Amino acid sequence: MSATLIPLLQQAFEARSALLAQLQAEQTNAYRLFHGSVEGASGLTIDRYGDLLLVQSFHTALSPAELDAIESFYAGVQPGLTVVYNDRSAGNSRICNPLDEAKLEAAMLPREMQELGVNYRIQARHAGQDPWLFLDLRAGRRRVMQEAAGKSVLNLFAYTCGVGIAAAKAGARHVINVDFAETALAVGKESARLNTLATRPRFVHSDVFPAVRQLSGIGQAQMVRGKRMPPFPKLEAQQFDLVFLDPPRYAKSLFGVVDLVNDYSALFKPALLATAPGGALICCNNVAEVDGEAWLDQLQRSAAKAGRPVQSVEWIVPDADFPSHDGKHPLKMVLLRV
């Protein structure tokens, strides 16, 4: 494969020339250099995060020759990057390849990257599996920054809080990030400290269901069907000018089920009710098999049923470093004015 890989890397790099110039002008040094599922090597992704080149394989492990070919190619076109390889072809996409002491030290080194003038903490390997910033969401973060000045922003399923930090950097007057993973929020706090922000974002460690139900005014009972719910932080009802909703494909807790295929509305309704009249709600759905137009129709019907009809719709399309054969990107993002 190494002999056939180089032309694919070259073609992908050349296809990104205009985008890379744009991103440099936007003060961005993090982007996908190779999107293998579309660019000829399914399961292989190559991402730049600042001075880090993160190579990941999801279907089959790379051979030493293939990894050498990748490292040599990018040393020529983007010299000075530290290469870290994560083989994620094992079950549940878990990283399964050991690294020698020097490479492991480089992989565990906290680094700093920049996107749209915002600084973020990044690390090639850590206690979790996924990178601390999802690059296909860049277009969503850009749109948030265009929208956020002077506004209140709620970031649900915040992960490492990239959206919330971007909003604060763009001049939002009030930002709340909500996520159940304390470790992810800790990364967000560290990234926030890397930036000069007019307002300090709030980081709420909570299951999203009780948080958004309280913020929306629906409320969260402490006893449900005779069972006491796990502890959750108490939040006052309030509405936000901009709400960002980016749930995982599927997750289950005592508070509810996140199911992007069968029941997006379970999350959408309280998120909608937490959005101020005249405000905007940005919804994301990362399930490839979900049809975008059918999903949008579901959102519009749910909004009308909740008495908060959608006034206008704006699709947000991932940047060109995430190409698609048919224009139907796995990650769907839509901004709804309500």
Summarize the confidence of residues 46-67 as an average pLDDT: 97
Q: For residue 181, give Cα distances in angstroms to 54, 152, 203, 256.
A: 23, 23, 11, 16
Rounded percentage of the chain residues whose pLDDT exceeds 90: 96
Q: Of the ranges 2-11, 228-237, 286-295, which one carries the lowest mean pLDDT score?
A: 2-11
Q: What is the pLDDT of residues 200-210, one digit of tens each?
A: 999 999 999 99
| pLDDT of 47 above 90 | yes
Q: Write out the two tokens for 36.
A: 């293998």
The one-letter amino acid code at 274 reads A
Residue 239: CB partners within 8 Å, gap ≥ 6?
215, 273, 274, 275, 276, 277, 279
d(CA 96, CA 151) in angstroms, rounded, equals: 43
Average pLDDT, the chain: 97
Does the pLDDT at position 180 exceed 70?
yes
* Burial 267-300, CB ≥16 within 10 A → b, else e: bbbbbbbbbeeebbbbbbbbbeebeeeebbebbe
pLDDT tens digits along 107-127: 999 999 999 999 999 999 999
Instruction: Identify the pLDDT of residue 161.
Output: 98
Q: Taking residues 37-49, report their average pLDDT.
A: 96
- Per-residue pLDDT of 237-286, as tens digits, reads 999 999 999 999 999 999 999 999 999 999 999 999 999 999 999 999 99
Residue 3 is predicted with a pLDDT of: 75
Q: Can you tell me the mean pLDDT for 176-203? A: 97
Rounded CA separation 100/296 (Å)? 48
In this predicted structure, the answer to whether residue 2 has a pLDDT above a threshold of 70 is no
pLDDT of residue 76: 98
Q: Which residue has tokens 């400290």? A: 193
- What contacts 224, CB < 8 A, 6 or more positions away? 254
Instruction: State the residue for tokens 């009809």.
Output: 309
Report the DSSP beta bridge partners of residue 315. 334
Whether residue 7 has pLDDT greater than 90: yes
* Domains within the chain, CATH numbers bracketed: 2-109 (3.30.750.80), 135-337 (3.40.50.150)
Instruction: Indicate whether 1 pLDDT > 80.
Output: no
